[in-house]
Amino acid sequence: MSSSKVQIALVLPDLLGTYGDFGNAVVLEKRLTWRGIPAEIVTVNFGEPVPDSCDIYVVGGGEDTAQTLAVRHLREHPGMQRAASRGAVILGVCAGIQIFGEHFTRADQVTHPGLGLIDSTSHAGGSRAIGEVIAEPVDGLFQGLLTGFENHQGRTVLGPSARPLARVKVGTGNDGQVEGAVQGRILCTYLHGPVLPRNPQIADLLIEWATGEKPAPLELPAVTQLRAERAKAAGV
């Protein structure tokens, strides 16, 4: 850690904050501070430089235009990419998975360069994937099911350096088969809901990567109940 507090950068919430992405940063902050590990959220707004000193970066989802602007901004201010090269933890949600890749192609067939953080490409699918998603972990990366809500048109193909986060049971994810991507300490997913409130095991995985220690158990009854309810509603 680069300072006494775990710094969680909430990256461009004013552009990429469409699906309650603030929630992911709050969950990380609270799960750290409740365990006695000082943490703070550093909000990086559109038009401001992106610091390279944070421990965790949270990048959310946004509309097409916002997404293009975000890429432009993140290329002009490459603090997050610099942090990635020294092993900082990054969570990319929805648009995140698209802009982190090599390139992404929109419904208008225009291809935009991505940030090259993960080995993937994305393109617009025929239909919009909207609804509850349930997915199973791949290679025991985390415990329990991954649950969330998706709303995206993008389809993502992973290259050999990236591996999927989970296998889809209900919903679409990257391509109807697998969901998300993991490469080094970068974790991407199409799921919001947002994803970390519903999946504390993923939040704690990111915390473990950032602090180098497995965090102490933290049981929140409402979260346990919500996970059970959403799995039941999805018929799992």
Partner 1 sequence: MPLRTAAAVRLGNMSSKLSQKMGLGAGGMIGGRVALKLDPQALARLTTGRRVALVTGTNGKTTSTMMLSRAVSALGEVATNHGGANMPDGHVTALSKQPDAPYAVLEVDEGYFPEVARAAHPAVAVLLNLSRDQLDRVGEVRTIEKSLRTALAGVQGTVVANCDDIMVTSAARDSARVVWVATGTGWHNDSASCPRCGDPIRWQGEHWHCTGCDLARPRPDWITGDGFLITPQGVKVDLSLRLPGKFNQANAVMAAAAAAALGVPVEEAVQRLRAVSNVAGRYRTIQRSGHRARLLLSKNPAGWSETLTVVREADHPAVLVINAHEADGRDLSWLWDVPFEKLRGRQVIASGERATDLAVRLTYAEVEHTIVPDPLLAIDAMPQGPVEVIANYTAFRDLNARSASE
**What is the contact surface with partner 1 in residues (CB under 8 A)?**
13-15, 17-23, 26-27, 30, 45-47, 63-66, 68-69, 130-132, 149, 151, 192-194, 197-198, 220, 222-223, 225-226, 229
Cβ nearer to partner 1, comparing 130 with 157: 130
Residue ranges for the known binding site for substrate are 128
Phi, psi of 115 (to 5 degrees): -90, -5
- Pairing state of beta strands 181-183 and 186-189? antiparallel
**Smallest separation (angstroms) from partner 1 to the CB of 97:** 16
**Smallest separation (angstroms) from partner 1 to the CB of 193:** 6
Exposure string for 163-191, b = 16+ CB within 10 A, e = fewer: ebbbebbbbbbbeeebbbbbbbbbbbbbb
Q: If we measure between CA atoms, which residue out of 130, 65, 69, 119 comes closest to residue 97?
A: 119
Q: Which residues are catalytic?
A: 94, 192
**Smallest separation (angstroms) from partner 1 to the CB of 164:** 22
Total count of residues recorded for the chain? 236
Cβ nearer to partner 1, comparing 101 with 148: 148
- Pairing state of beta strands 56-59 and 6-11? parallel
Cβ nearer to partner 1, comparing 138 with 236: 236
